[in-house]
Amino acid sequence: ASNDVVATVSNAEITRKSFKRLRPGKWLDDEIINAYLKSLKVRNETVLCKTKGRSNLAVYFHKTYFYTKLTEGGRYTYSNVRTWTKRGPGKCDLFSQSMIFIPINIEGQHWALSVVFPTKKKIVYYDSLGLDGLRVLKNLRRYLSDEARDKGSYTMNTSEWSLVNKKSAPRQNNQSDCGAFVCAYCACLLFGWKLTFTSKSMSTFRKKIALE
């Protein structure tokens, strides 16, 4: 059946219906993207840290529905996500991280990615259609400011933070690969690879996601 669970990645279940979306030409859903980000988190905490000789690279992955919840109904609402980093498996001091990955679902029709670099005081927006992400960037800067004020772990001067639309980010040449591009952006940034992939790479990359 389409709802049968065919794979599990660190407690993230993938149904047959979602797994089929890894075929070329299919739009990736939350299930696939969240599971892939979980696999990156596991690799960071095991393989990557061991090979680079460190205990933790200190990266954080927000769920795909985080930004949707933050801006529910078209309005910025910090209270919707205030507890997300306060308790449970998502508990975290964001400002102690090297990178914070935030998938962005745009009106249920497109995926993009924002990455926060706390030590560099920078928020970068990666969009495979080249769309402008200034509104997203401003909302995330506001979120970080609220987070700093609420958790009391960091004093944030928003004027010192830069907002960057990464116009040189690789672009898709179809209407279906945006989710795969988000996954590829995440992998490259985490492992220190150059962003040199193209739409032609996505068929192979989708297979790579399926294997992982």
Q: Is the sign of the CA dihedral 166, 48, 61, 209 positive or negative?
A: positive
Catalytic residues: 110, 127, 178
Q: Please report, in angstroms and rounded to a whole number, the separation of the first and last CA atoms in the chain.
A: 22
Treating both helix axes as pointing N-terminal to C-terminal, what angle do 30-43 and 178-191 enclose, rounded to 10 degrees? 10
The HSE-up count of residue 86 (CA atoms within 13 Å, CB side) is 11
Distance from C-alpha of 79 to C-alpha of 92, rounded to nearest angstrom:
17
